[in-house]
């Protein structure tokens, strides 16, 4: 039996998402940014809830991305600390890539901090390659972003 399941994100989820967000990122998105994504035309977003019934729902992960023409741009993925290192991010990315492929999207790109070793290890494991750099992307920390890209039609894992 699955320990978690995928659900569409709703406004009611934003408080729990925001709590994970503040723990997970040095420069967290604001509540308003998440709410904007819920109504953005190109945006797709999912939450992962724990358990196997809707009686007790706890958000354990979330993902926000955009689909523009044949490209997916990953904006945000996070897993709540207690649920990390159990394969949840791989599972959530796999579900998201499948939904993008169904819409004829063929590539995915993202920005990541060079200091974010867990995320970089995860993305490389999934077949992402470094395709560029955005200087001073994380302006508060004066850190560049690495741009990673993956061909969704090439199977990884």
Ligand X SMILES: CC(C)(COP(=O)(O)OP(=O)(O)OC[C@H]1O[C@@H](n2cnc3c(N)ncnc32)[C@H](O)[C@@H]1OP(=O)(O)O)[C@@H](O)C(=O)NCCC(=O)NCCS
Q: Which residues are catalytic?
A: 111, 123
- Would you say 72 or 88 has its CB closer to ligand X? 88
- Would you say 88 or 152 has its CB closer to ligand X? 88
Phi, psi of 96 (to 5 degrees): -70, -40
Which residue from 38, 75, 122, 130 is in contact with ligand X, where contact means CB under 6 A? 122
Residue 93 CB, nearest approach to ligand X (Å): 8
Pick from 97, 79, 96: nearest CA to 88: 79
Q: What x-and-dash track marks residues 52-91 binding ligand X by CB under 6 A?
A: -------------------------xxx----xxxxxxx-
- Would you say 64 or 100 has its CB closer to ligand X? 64
Which residue from 7, 43, 119, 147 is in contact with ligand X, where contact means CB under 6 A? 119
Q: Please name every residue paired with 138 in a beta bridge, in sequence order, or none if there are none.
A: 143
Residue 77 CB, nearest approach to ligand X (Å): 5
Interacting residues toward ligand X by CB under 6 A: 24, 77-79, 84-90, 112, 116-119, 121-122, 125
């Amino acid at each position: 039996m699955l320990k978690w399941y995928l659900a569409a994100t709703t406004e009611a989820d934003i408080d729990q998402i925001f709590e994970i967000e503040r723990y997970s990122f040095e420069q967290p998105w604001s509540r308003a940014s998440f709410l904007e994504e819920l109504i953005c035309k190109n945006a797709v977003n999912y939450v992962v809830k724990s358990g196997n019934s809707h009686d007790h729902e706890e958000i354990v992960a979330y993902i926000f991305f955009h689909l523009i023409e044949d490209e997916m741009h990953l904006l945000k993925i996070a897993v709540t600390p207690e649920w990390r290192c159990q394969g949840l991010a791989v599972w959530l990315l796999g579900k998201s890539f499948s939904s993008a492929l169904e819409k004829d999207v063929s590539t995915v790109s993202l920005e990541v901090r060079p200091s974010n070793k867990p995320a970089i290890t995860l993305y490389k494991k999934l077949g992402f390659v470094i395709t560029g750099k955005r200087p001073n992307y994380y302006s508060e920390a004066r850190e560049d972003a690495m741009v990673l890209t993956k061909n969704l039609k090439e199977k990884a894992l």
